[in-house]
Structure 1
Amino acid sequence: MRIVVVGGTGLIGSQVVALLRDGGHHVVPAAPSTGVDTLTGQGLAEALKGADVVVDVSNSPSFDTEPALDFFTRSARHLIEAERDAGVRHHVTLSIVGVDQVPDYGYYRAKVAQEDAVRGGGVPYSIVRATQFFEFIAPVMDMSSEGGEVRLPSTRLRPMASADVAAAVAEAAQGEPSNGIRTIAGPEVYGLDRLGEITLAAKPDGRTVVTDESAGLFASMPEGVLVGDDTAHVASTRYEDWLRQH
């Protein structure tokens, strides 16, 4: 199959590209650096010529409400229009577990708008919703650091390795459209403060974790939103094992 991966040069996209190529497919990474801009539509028609499947793992450069909403809605509109013109038979989008349960969180609202555009776009689709990535834990800790303290809430997460996310997206791309949602999550549930403690125990740098229920992006998340439910497909990689390898 010819598969176009939008966002194919990023953390998830580059791994999806590699997995699909290993599977024997002709894969085209699409990103501004390769001459494809979904915001303007530039390069889309050429990139999608002959494409069977399009995978969208692109991300907004801003987490603020208005820029994120503009990015996801405009990009989805341009992408789906180009897919219809090219005769693409399957659109795969990566989204977030619990994205439709937090209407006051602007970035999540923008992702919901993206999902809605995919559902109503007229191209058969599959949506893969994933929990937070292990790779985001250290940056979240850095953003929440004050001197020698890392201030984190006890908000529960069920994080997973980006490699497991990429594998699920690649699997969806090689299958038939589900016209629905598949949820994937990590094998264990942690409080974010506990994740910080585990991280610093494995890689001590002089900082200590202080539980602060008002600190950071995840402080306002309702209980259970970031964990998913019993329908989630559970990935195998544990955080402690991942830390030892990274």
Structure 2
Amino acid sequence: MRVVVTGGAGDLGSRVVAQLRERGHEAVPASRRTGVDLSTGSGLDAALRGADAVVHCADDTSAGDAVTVYGTRRLADVAAAQDVHLVHISIVGIDGHPLPYYKRKLRAEQGIAAAGGAATVLRATQFHSLAAYFARVLTKGPVAFAIGDMVIQPVDTDHVAARLADLALGARPAAYARATDLAGPDVLALVDIATLVRSHRGAPAPRVVHLPAVGAVLKAFARGANVPPAGTADTGGRTFAAWLAEQPSRLSGR
């Protein structure tokens, strides 16, 4: 099969490309460097011509609606017109969530459905690297701040990439469809993650300061909107601790 991967040079997209190639399929990365610009639609028609599927991993959180919403709809329209199965990565818990980015991801899903083509949306929880980033942001020196009862069920990026490859190579739906949500094996409080991160670099457990969840966004996270209800998601992949053990002692980025 010939599968186009938007954002194919990024963290998730490059892993999807590797998964597809390891299974003996043709994986074609698509990005600005290959002449494909989701913010304008330039290069999309040519990139999808002759493809069996396209896995949509590209995004630009700094560009507002331009890529996340409108770029996704452009891609969905071209995929529908060329009868290419679109596989899209989204986020668990975005229905009704007040975080602006989550609102954009929901609108992206709605745009895919409106395009009318064969499409599969996979919602996943936060990646291990993002969970570690959250923990670092909420740790100041020896103090870790807990926001209400906020927890994360982080998932391994490789596990998500493998599932996206499965969906692209598997049976295509007749129209828009949601795959079963995907999550990691452990539900962890941010303080637990912060403790693991500090231990990884040889620091003692942090002193915990509990803060109330103030504002609609933090309240949504505190009530567990970002974690799938028990029994509703497929769980698997490396635990956060196993992933962390393979990282450098000083983490960076997201």
Common fold, TM-score beyond 0.5? Answer: yes
Q: Summarize deviations over 1:36-87 as a string: whole Å, max 9, x none.
A: 111111111111110110110112232xxxx433332210221122223333
Q: Secondary structure at the match of 1:219?
A: helix
Matching of residues 71-220 of structure 1 within 5 Å: 71-88=67-84, 90-102=85-97, 104-153=98-147, 154-178=149-173, 179-205=177-203, 208=206, 210-214=208-212, 219-220=218-219
Residue 235 (structure 2) pairs with residue 237 (structure 1): no
Q: What is the alpha-carbon distance in structure 1 between the residues aligned to residue 245 and residue 68 of structure 2?
A: 35
| Cα root mean square deviation, aligned | 2.2
Q: Secondary structure at the match of 2:226?
A: coil
Answer yes or no: is the 8 Å Cα contact 2:126–2:155 preserved in 1.
yes
How far off is 1:120 after superposition?
1.5
Answer yes or no: is the 8 Å Cα contact 1:151–1:215 preserved in 2.
no
Q: What is the alpha-carbon distance in structure 2 between the residues aligned to residue 232 and residue 190 of structure 1?
A: 16
| Structure 1: 4+ residue segments shifted above 4 A | 214-218
Number of paired residues? 240
Quick one: which amino acid aligns to residue 172 of structure 1? L
Answer yes or no: is the 8 Å Cα contact 1:152–1:216 preserved in 2.
no
How far off is 1:182 after superposition?
1.9
User: CA distance change for structure 1 residues 84 and 227 in 2, over 3 Å: closer, same or farther?
Assistant: closer
TM-score, normalization by structure 1: 0.89
Q: What is the alpha-carbon distance in structure 2 between the residues aligned to residue 240 and residue 35 of structure 1?
A: 39
Which residue is 1:41 aligned to?
41
User: CA distance change for structure 1 residues 214 and 36 in 2, over 3 Å: closer, same or farther?
Assistant: farther
**In percent, how many aligned pairs have the same letter?**
32
Q: Secondary structure at the match of 1:126?
A: strand
Which residue is 1:69 aligned to?
65
Q: What is the alpha-carbon distance in structure 1 between the residues aligned to residue 127 and residue 92 of structure 2?
A: 11
User: CA distance change for structure 1 residues 26 and 155 in 2, over 3 Å: closer, same or farther?
Assistant: same
Answer yes or no: is the 8 Å Cα contact 2:139–2:194 preserved in 1.
no
Q: What is the alpha-carbon distance in structure 1 between the residues aligned to residue 222 and residue 213 of structure 2?
A: 14
User: CA distance change for structure 1 residues 145 and 197 in 2, over 3 Å: closer, same or farther?
Assistant: closer
**Unmatched runs of 5 consecutive residues or more in structure 1:** none
Q: Summarize deviations over 1:204-230 as a string: whole Å, max 9, x none.
A: 357835344358997332412122021
Q: What is the alpha-carbon distance in structure 2 between the residues aligned to residue 59 and residue 129 of structure 1?
A: 15
Answer yes or no: is the 8 Å Cα contact 2:8–2:16 preserved in 1.
yes
**Unmatched runs of 5 consecutive residues or more in structure 2:** 248-254
User: CA distance change for structure 1 residues 48 and 10 in 2, over 3 Å: closer, same or farther?
Assistant: same
Q: What is the alpha-carbon distance in structure 2 between the residues aligned to residue 215 and residue 17 of structure 1?
A: 39
